[in-house]
Amino acid sequence: MTDRQPSIVFRLDPRSGIAPYRQLVDQVRNAVEMGRLRGGDQLPSVREVVTQVTINPNTVHRAYRELENLGLAEGRLGLGTFITENPDVHATEAGNVELTRQLQIWVKRARAAGIVDDDMLELLRRILNHDERVLS
């Protein structure tokens, strides 16, 4: 083990109800989107992660596999897992800009109609659950 600082320090909230592997994926994606992680940065090894947070090593493997599937990271044989060069956040960002704009318009209309924030969240949750039902 080297004394070099890890590129990212994970956190885990066991009470969030969000699966631990999903929490790791989200934290990496967020760090890439915010520019804290860049192409070529090495993610901490599974051994390093289990000394950072109390987590099952298989869960870390699973999160890294998911990041590879998302095109955000790549495994290099015998070296570790790295953020891909030019990770594809711009493509998603461009898509996000339009979606964000539409959502802002929607929120404005919902407020005008007297819907409070909690109700909006509940509505979104319901729609998400409904979608999942359609897909599964």
Partner 1 sequence: MTMPVIETNSLTKRFGRKWGLRDCSLSIPAGKVAALVGPNGAGKSTLLRMATGLSRPTSGEIYVLGEEPIGNSASFLSRIGYLDQERPLYRGFRVDEMFRFGEGTNPTWNMTTAHAYVDQLGISLRDRVNNLSGGQQAQVALTMCLAKQPELLILDEPAAALDPVAREDLLRLLMREVAERGTSVVLSTHALGDVGSICDYLVIMSHSTIVLADDLEFVVESHRFLGAPSPNVPELPEGVTVIDTRTSSRDVTYLVRMTLPLSDETWEITQPTLDEVIMAYLRLARDSASTSSRHETPSTRGEHS
Binding site for partner 1 (CB under 8 A): 12, 14-15, 17, 19-20, 46-47, 50-51, 53-59, 125-126, 129-130, 132-133, 136
* Least Å from the CB of residue 115 to partner 1: 19
* Least Å from the CB of residue 38 to partner 1: 26
Which CB atom, from 59 or from 81, has the smaller least distance to partner 1?
A: 59
Give me 84's structure tokens.
Answer: 């891909």
Going by the DSSP 8-state scheme, the letter that residue 77 receives in this structure is T
DSSP bridge pairs for 26: none
Which CB atom, from 22 or from 89, has the smaller least distance to partner 1?
A: 22
Which CB atom, from 17 or from 35, has the smaller least distance to partner 1?
A: 17
d(CA 60, CA 71): 17
Q: Which residues of 19-38 are buried (b: 16+ CB within 10 A; e: fewer)?
A: ebbebbbebbbebbeeeebe
Which CB atom, from 53 or from 89, has the smaller least distance to partner 1?
A: 53
75 three-state secondary structure: strand
* Least Å from the CB of residue 35 to partner 1: 29
d(CA 57, CA 50): 7
* Least Å from the CB of residue 65 to partner 1: 13
